[in-house]
Structure 1
Amino acid sequence: MKKLMSLCALGVALTLGAAAHAAEDKAPTKQQSKMATCNKEAGEMKGDERKAFMKTCLSNKPSQQDKMKACNADEKAKTLKGDERKAFMSECLKK
């Protein structure tokens, strides 16, 4: 009886440990997230066009969102309004 209880306890412990480990593996890595984003942006592209786009998209260049954050954090962007701000943001995002 003691052996049966010990085996059951061990089985439960292993099952819980495996479940916890599987849950950790579910979170996408940064690269997987970037791949998903690039796939969405690629849309209906095919062949060489898609390959070239994915290569550029997956490179280590900052994303559009990262550029936008950096430009918005600029002191000049905080003081400008209207068309002046649009022009500044346009130039900043091209860099």
Structure 2
Amino acid sequence: MTHLRLPLLMVGLLMCSYSFADTPQQEKMKTCNADASAKALKGDERNAFMSNCLKAKPLTPQQEKMKTCNADAATKALKGDERNAFMSNCLKKK
């Protein structure tokens, strides 16, 4: 019986440590909370900020690329076929 206690204790400790890892939602909550504190938001203003922050989803790499290419096309004032060609070329680049 004594030999069985140590392995069971180790398994229990491993299971406990695993459950304390932060989930992505907890990480997002920490980040939003830190941002709200840095901006010194309080009351309804803080609640609105936290709500919007927690709803926001991070952009995928493709969305980031699309955003950058779109901004570049707007800066160059491209329109029509010229814009389409630019966007196609820009999005194909790595």
What is the TM-score when the length of structure 1 is the normalising length? 0.60
- Tell me by how many angstroms 1:55 deviates: 0.9
What is the TM-score when the length of structure 2 is the normalising length? 0.60
- Tell me by how many angstroms 1:67 deviates: 6.3
Query: What is the correspondence of 1:1-95 to structure 2 with a 5 Å cutoff?
Result: 7-43=1-37, 44-59=40-55, 61-63=56-58, 66=59, 70-71=63-64, 73-74=65-66, 77=69, 84=72, 87=75
User: What is the alpha-carbon root mean square deviation over aligned residues?
Assistant: 2.8
By relative contact order (CA 8 Å, sep 6+), the higher-ranking structure is 2
Cα gap change, 1:56 to 1:25, in 2 (>3 Å): same
Matched AA of 1:37: T
Matched AA of 1:57: C
- Tell me by how many angstroms 1:17 deviates: 0.7
- Residue correspondences, number: 72
The CA deviation string for residues 31-76 of structure 1, in whole angstroms up to 9 with x for no partner, is: 10110010011012111111111111111x323xx267622x33x7
Q: Which runs of 5+ in 1 are unaligned?
A: 1-6, 89-95
- Tell me by how many angstroms 1:26 deviates: 2.2
Q: Which runs of 5+ in 2 are unaligned?
A: 77-94
Please give the alpha-carbon distance, in whole angstroms, between the structure 2 residues aligned to 1:68 and 1:40. 25
Percent of matched pairs sharing the same residue: 31
